[in-house]
Chains A and B, each alone.
Chain A
Amino acid sequence: MQKSGLITRRRAIVTGLAAAGGLLFTRLPESLPTTHGNLLRMGDAFTYAAQRVLLPSRSLVKEYTRGDITSFPATGTVDPGALDKPGLSDVYRGLQHAAFADWRLPVEGKVGTPRTFSLAELKALPARTQVTRHTCEEGWTAIGEWTGVPLRTVLDAAGILPTARFVVFHSYDDWVDSIDLLDALHPQTILAYGMNGRDLPLAHGAPLRLRVERQIGYKSMKYLRRIVVTDEFDDGGAKGNIQNGWAWYTGI
């Protein structure tokens, strides 16, 4: 008896799973975060790949109303001018003294036209206001209203190159962090200059902070200083999360 032509239940299941696996495989990120041989960082990279493969890329976080705004602790750096970072703390104090009139944000790297934005120029761009829940890795949450310019608008103004894959952020508290292009171009990823209807307070990242709503709070970097678009993954070295023992991707 020639049985090879039959579609058995087992064959149907195996073929179906293989087809589904093949489709999902195409959603794997091109480059994964560095692990430096650390098992925990490998687990983080697995979670990153799994979430990118399994979750819809454009889903939006829940937005609340103004009446839902809650008390909001300020943690981590709450005043970069009070730190002892040569070339940063003193510069920040000077900028703060002049109400950030001289503050500038360079957007460079893999872009067609490197640009530098003043706070007034950012505020002149189309703004987005969103009331969202901040989820801290420590376990607390808070709801705040953020006003800013979508990161996508700023990246488009500089014209990111087709090879661009990551956006790297440098801060005045001497931190370097990055997000992939899926999060960078997400409609709720904004460069916020306003909180709860006022200018961003000092303790919450004045004059400009990032909001990455689909990740844990520490990805929403405060006190932005510089943005660099890259085509390769950059873990920020000694100033980044990975080499300091923290996960780079924190969708969970």
Chain B
Amino acid sequence: MDQVTRASGRPVDPHARWVRVIHWLAAASVLTLACSGFAILMVHPRLYWGQVGNDLTPPLLELPISRNHQHGGWTAPQPFFAGGPDGPVTASRTYDIFNQNGWARSLHFLAAWWLVLPGVVYLLAGLGSGHFRAHLWPRAGDLGPRQVWQDVTAHLRFRIPPAVGGPDYGVLQKCAYTAVVFIVAPLMVLTGLAMSPAVTAAYPVLLQVSGGYQSARTVHFFSSLALVLFVLAHVVMVVASGFTRQIRGMTVGR
């Protein structure tokens, strides 16, 4: 049998079967989460900081992504207390808002289970098998300023080495995977749970750490943006380094 070798002459270390299976489960889930998450955001495209934010309080940021953007469908605000309009007020909605959360929320949580359950298996297997240590975590020697600079300039000039069909990752690639697996994905899960009234009743620490429900929602949005940018860069790099080779490596494993 022909031994597939890298340019350096060392044999290729193919993607393990469990890595390939979980990669595609996660890919399907992340795509579903991104689409359903966008549909959920369209219902209330305003972001806030702290515990509370609604149409009667000032936003941090408003996104022009649905007909709900800056809609004026409210009755005149009525103060709750004698203090006047500077205090808390109420107003009734008179506007038929865009709202597809009936399916979007449930699909989002279904896809979240679809990510969290394989994700737990992935973390346990990755630690147990030495996959993280051997392939994912940048080694101390990789992180020298000269190596990092070389990898950065190679990427900037779009000099992408041809794929070998298995993990032999560059330093930026390792940093990107490590950041997604150990920082962005856990942050998405934790800020997602910080928006759950039942989970935060049991674990109020989630709200204390995130700075409140609306802060968690805002962090959840920006982390998802980081994740989407990662996926785009990932797909570009897969194409640039040899699409067929890479897809074969991540499906049949050869």
Report the minimal beta-carbon distance from B195 to chain A, rounded to whole angstroms: 7
User: In the bound complex, what is the Cα–Cα distance between A42 and B110 (angstroms)?
Assistant: 9
A73 pairs with B103, CB closer than 8 A: no
Tell whether, in the assembled complex, residue A70 and residue B88 are in contact, meaning their CB atoms are under 8 Å apart.
Answer: yes
Query: Which residues on the A side are within 8 Å of B106 (C-beta)?
Result: 40-41, 43-44, 246-247
Find chain A residues with CB under 8 A from B110 CB: 39-40, 42-43, 46
Distance of A61 from chain B, by nearest CB (Å): 4
Q: Are B113 and A78 in contact (CB under 8 A)?
A: no
Q: Which of B38-46, B146-154, B178-186, B234-242 contacts A (4 or more CB under 8 A)?
A: B38-46
A143 interface hit (Cβ, 8 Å): yes
**Quick check: A196 and B196 within 8 Å, CB to CB?**
no
Q: Which of A23-31, A131-139, A230-238 contacts B (4 or more CB under 8 A)?
A: A131-139
Q: Is B109 within 8 A of A142, CB to CB?
A: no
A72–B56 contact, CB under 8 A? yes
Q: Which chain B residues lie closer than 8 Å to A78 at the CB level? A: 92-93
| Distance of A216 Cα from B40 Cα, bound (Å) | 14
> Does B80 touch A at the CB level, under 8 Å?
yes
Q: Which residues of A contact B88 (CB under 8 A)?
A: 69-72, 196
Whether B92 lies near A137 (C-beta < 8 A) is no
Out of A43, A141, A197, A245, name the residue touching B109 (CB < 8 Å): A43
Contact B199 A71, beta carbon cutoff 8 Å: no
Determine chain A's interface SS by DSSP, over half rule: loop
Q: How far is the CA of A246 from the CA of B193 in the complex (A)?
A: 20
Asked whether any CB of chain A lies closer than 8 Å to the CB of B8, the reply is no
CB of B162 closer than 8 Å to a CB of A: no
| B252, chain A: closest CB distance, angstroms | 29
What per-residue 1/0 map shows which CB atoms of B73-88 lie under 8 Å from chain A? 0100100110000001
A43 CB to nearest chain B CB (Å): 3
Note all chain A residues with C-beta closer than 8 A to B207: 62
Contact of A252 with B90 at beta-carbon distance under 8 Å, contacts A43-B110, A62-B204, A138-B101 already known: no
Bound Cα distance A39, B106 (Å)? 9
Within 8 A of A (CB), among B87-130: 88-93, 97, 99, 101-103, 105-107, 109-110, 113
Q: Mark A206-243, 1 if CB is under 8 A from B, else 0.
A: 00000001111000000000000000000000000000
Which has the most chain B C-beta neighbours within 10 Å: A59, A137, A139, A252?
A139
Closest chain A residue to B94, Cβ basis: A78
What are 15 A-B pairs with beta-carbon distances under 8 A? A51-B198, A59-B202, A71-B56, A73-B74, A73-B90, A73-B92, A133-B197, A138-B97, A138-B99, A139-B217, A140-B54, A141-B52, A203-B92, A251-B197, A252-B197
A141-B214, A213-B201 are known contacts; what are 8 more A-B pairs with Cβ within 8 Å?
A74-B93, A133-B52, A138-B44, A142-B56, A197-B81, A215-B197, A246-B101, A252-B199
